[in-house]
Amino acid sequence: MRLRDTIVAIASPHGTGAISVVRLSGDEALQIVNRFLNKPISRPRYVHHRELFDTSGSLVDEVLVVYYKAPKSYTGEDMVEIYCHGGILVTQKVLDVMLAGGARLAKNGEFTKRAFLNGKIDLVKAEAVLQVIEAKSEKALKLALDNLKGKLSEEIEFFRRKLLDILAKIEVSIDYSDDVIVDDSEIRHDIVSLLEMLRSKIEMAGKGLHLSTGVTLAIVGKPNTGKSTLLNRLLNEDRAIVTDIPGTTRDVIRGEIKIGGVHFVISDTAGVRETEDVIEKIGIERTLREVQKSDVVIFLLDATTGFTEDDQYIYELIKETNHVVVWNKVDLASNVQRIGEDDVLISAKTGEGLRALEQKLLEKVRLIVEEGELSHVTSKRQLEYLKRVYANISNAYDQFKKGYPFDVISIDLRKALEEFDELLGRNYMEDLIDTIFSNFCVGK
C-alpha cells in the first residue's frame, strides 16, 4: 500500500542555519535511520545523541535523533526526526543517506496529508497548519492556531449536529408517519435558528479571510499617470517583495506591503482608458471587474493633465467602489484641480504625500480590519462550503413552507449534511485533497 512507504524530507527552511531537521514517516522510519547510527535507538520521545554515517561508513555528522512511535506522532505513523548541523551540504547528505536507505522523498504537504488520512486531524485543521506557517499578522496567526486546536471544526460540528437533529425528526415522521405526530412548528423553529446561525457565520467570514489573506488594493488610472511608479514606491518603502504572477494577461503586478500593521495585497492593473477596440475593451472590462472586487481602490490622476475624458470614463466605472482619489506628479504642477474634498496629493517620484496616502488607505479599510468578534473561517474553501450548506437548507425551508412532503425536504437537508462532511474532509475526493496539500512545502 502506497500510504505505508516511508517518506523523508528536510523539514527546516532551505539555507544555512544552526540546526536543520530531516524527518521521516512510515513503517520503516526507525529501521532506516538505525542502519546509519553508531548505536541504534528504540526509546520513543527521547532525545538521543548519535553519530550518523553514510552508506560507505564515513561520518556525516553528529546528530540528535527523536523517535515518535505510531500512533503518537504528527502523521500517526512511526516517525523519526534527525537534528543535524544546519549547513546546506550536511543537511543534503543526511537526506541522501535516508534516501539510499530506502526512504522516498516526500511530496509537498505529504506529512500533513498522512496525518489527515490517518485521522489525526480533519481537513479544516490541516488547512490551519498551512495558515500557521503562512500567517502574516498576529491576528491571522491566532486564528490559525485556534483552528489548529479545533475551534472552527467544533463550530462546524455543532451546526452539523443541529442539522442531524432536524433530519432525525423528519426521518422519524417519514418512517412512522402513522404512529408519530411530528410538531411542524418545532421543525420550523429548528431550521430557522440553524439558518440564522449559519448566516451570521457567513457574514462574519469576510473578516477572518481578510486577516488570513490580506486586504486587497488596486491602483487604476489611464496610462502614464504613474501607477507603476507609485506601486514601486509603496513596495520599496516597505521593503516588500514584488512578484510577477505567471499566466496573468498584460502587466498586472502584485506585491504585498504592511501599513500600520495591516497587510495589503496590491495589484497594479493595466492602464485603463476608453477604447473603440473591441478586444481591448473586453480586457479593460475584465480588469475593472477585478478592481471592483478589491477592498480598496486607488484612482490615480495626473496633476499635469487635470481631469480628462479618459479619467471620467474610468471614474464612472469605479465610483461605487471603496476608493481614494489620488493626484500624482504634484512636483510638476503648481495648481491641482481637485474633484473632491478628500483628494490626496502625491508625487510618486519624490515620495511627497505618501504618508498621507497611507493614512487615507488605513481609514478606508478600518471597517474591514476593525477589532471585534472574529470569524474563524480562514479559507475561501471553507466559506464556499458554508454557503452551499446554507443554500441547501434554505431550499429545504422553502419547500417546508410550501407544504412539500418530508421525504422531498429531506433531500436538500441530506445534501447539506454531505457538504458539512466534505468541509471537514470526511467525504473527501482525492483530487481536492491533492490540491489542498500541494500548497504545502515539502517536509510539512
71 is in an annotated binding site: no
Give 422's contacts (C-beta < 8 A, 6+ positions apart). Answer: 385, 428, 429, 432
Which among 202, 261, 117, 154 is positioned nearest to 391, based on CA atoms?
A: 202
Nearer to ligand GDP, 350 or 439 (CB): 350
165 is in an annotated binding site: no
**Distance (Å, whole) CA 78 – CA 111:** 12
**Distance (Å, whole) CA 225 – CA 236:** 19
Q: How far is the CB of 229 from ligand GDP (least distance, A)?
A: 3
228 is in an annotated binding site: yes
**Distance (Å, whole) CA 64 – CA 46:** 10
Per-residue x/- mask for ligand GDP, residues 181 to 220, rule CB under 6 A?
----------------------------------------
Nearer to ligand GDP, 113 or 329 (CB): 329
Nearer to ligand GDP, 225 or 379 (CB): 225
Q: Is 255 among the residues that bind ligand GDP (CB under 6 A)? A: no
From its phi and psi, is residue 440 left (phi > 0), alpha (psi between -120 and 50) or beta? beta
Q: How far is the CB of 328 from ligand GDP (least distance, A)?
A: 5
205 is in an annotated binding site: no
Q: Which stretch binds ligand GDP (CB under 6 A): 130-138, 176-184, 234-242, 346-354?
A: 346-354
**Distance (Å, whole) CA 385 – CA 394:** 14
Q: Which stretch binds ligand GDP (CB under 6 A): 170-178, 255-263, 328-336, 377-385?
A: 328-336
Nearer to ligand GDP, 91 or 328 (CB): 328
Q: Is 223 among the residues that bind ligand GDP (CB under 6 A)? A: yes
Q: Is 221 among the residues that bind ligand GDP (CB under 6 A)? A: yes
Q: Which stretch binds ligand GDP (CB under 6 A): 124-132, 273-281, 327-335, 380-388?
A: 327-335
Nearer to ligand GDP, 223 or 405 (CB): 223
**Distance (Å, whole) CA 124 – CA 130:** 10
Q: How far is the CB of 276 from ligand GDP (least distance, A)?
A: 20
Count interface residues toward ligand GDP (CB under 6 A). Answer: 16
What is residue 56's three-state secondary structure?
coil
360 is in an annotated binding site: no
Examine residue 71 and say whether the peptide bond preceding it is cis (omega within 30 degrees of 0). Answer: yes
For residue 264, the cross-strand partners are 215, 257
Q: Is 267 among the residues that bind ligand GDP (CB under 6 A)? A: no
**Distance (Å, whole) CA 41 – CA 53:** 15
**Distance (Å, whole) CA 411 – CA 62:** 62
Handedness of CA 39, 44, 49, 55 (dihedral sign): positive
Q: Is 338 among the residues that bind ligand GDP (CB under 6 A)? A: no
Q: Which stretch binds ligand GDP (CB under 6 A): 105-113, 323-331, 356-364, 426-434?
A: 323-331
Max Cα–Cα distance, the chain, nearest Å: 87
412 is in an annotated binding site: no
For residue 53, the cross-strand partners are 59
Alpha helices in 103-183 (DSSP H): 110-117, 123-134, 138-148, 151-175
Tally DSSP H helices, then E strands, for the chain. 14, 13
Q: Is 254 among the residues that bind ligand GDP (CB under 6 A)? A: no
Q: Is 224 among the residues that bind ligand GDP (CB under 6 A)? A: yes
- Binding-site residue numbers for GTP are 224-229, 243-249, 268-271
Per CB under 6 A, residues contacting ligand GDP are 221, 223-229, 271, 328-329, 331-332, 347-349
Annotated binding site for K(+): 224, 243, 245, 248
